[in-house]
């Protein structure tokens, strides 16, 4: 898919989002200009966003140069290069799901070990040492010294 086509799809999505935003705003009390209600500003913002997106879309269709740089080649979202980011993303999401379940130390150790081992392949010992150091220091700094409240021991709230 060409970059300009991707841009047009993005702009269409913006228009759809604006319509959705306006419809949701209408369910709130709009009020009158002399007494604006909670829906007044959202409606104005939705209309402005939709109008601007529409103008941008029409401009890009008419000029066909678009507002992107056609000199650049290549796919915008190359799937083969996204493998690593996707795995990292899933790892962070898993961390979010397990933090309250396993506690800070275990969840963070698993996350850090995965990141140290996976982002660039490293020796097992290096990854382990880096994990232990990072988790220990972060615990000292954030939990002990600064008093941030994390689950500090394994909990089983899900059971």
Of the two residues 51 and 159, which places its CB atom closer to other proteins in the complex? 51
Is 53 an interacting residue with respect to other proteins (CB under 8 A)?
A: yes
Taking CB under 8 A as the criterion, the residue among 61, 93, 129, 132 binding other proteins is 93
Closest CA to 106 of 73, 68, 139, 58: 139
Q: CB–CB of 88/119 below 8 Å?
A: yes
Taking CB under 8 A as the criterion, the residue among 4, 56, 102, 105 binding other proteins is 56
Is 138 an interacting residue with respect to other proteins (CB under 8 A)?
A: yes
127 CB contacts (<8 Å, ≥6 apart)? Answer: 113, 116, 117
As beta bridge partners, residue 36 has 31
Is 105 an interacting residue with respect to other proteins (CB under 8 A)?
A: no
Supply the DSSP string of 93-130, one letter for each residue: HHHHHHHHHHHHHHHHHHHHHHHHHHTTT--HHHHHHH
Binding residues for other proteins, rule: CB under 8 A, are 6-7, 10, 14, 21, 24, 28-29, 32-42, 45-46, 48-49, 52-53, 55-56, 59, 67-69, 76-78, 81-82, 84-85, 88-89, 92-93, 95-97, 99-100, 108, 111-112, 115-116, 119-120, 122, 130, 134, 138, 142, 146-150
């Amino acid at each position: 898919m060409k970059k300009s086509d991707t841009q047009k799809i993005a702009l269409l999505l913006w228009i759809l989002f604006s319509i959705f935003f306006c419809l949701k705003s209408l369910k709130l009390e709009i009020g009158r200009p002399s007494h604006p209600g909670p829906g007044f500003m959202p409606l104005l913002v939705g209309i402005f966003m939709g109008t601007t997106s529409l103008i941008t879309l029409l401009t890009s269709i008419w000029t066909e140069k678009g507002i992107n740089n056609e000199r650049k080649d290549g796919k915008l979202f190359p799937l083969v290069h996204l493998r690593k980011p996707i795995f990292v993303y899933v790892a962070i999401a898993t961390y979010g799901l397990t933090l309250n379940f396993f506690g800070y130390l275990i969840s963070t150790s698993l996350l850090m070990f995965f990141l140290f081992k996976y982002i660039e392949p490293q020796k097992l010992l290096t990854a382990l040492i880096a994990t232990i150091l990072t988790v220990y220091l972060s615990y000292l700094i954030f939990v002990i010294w600064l008093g941030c409240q994390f689950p500090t021991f394994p909990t089983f709230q899900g059971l």
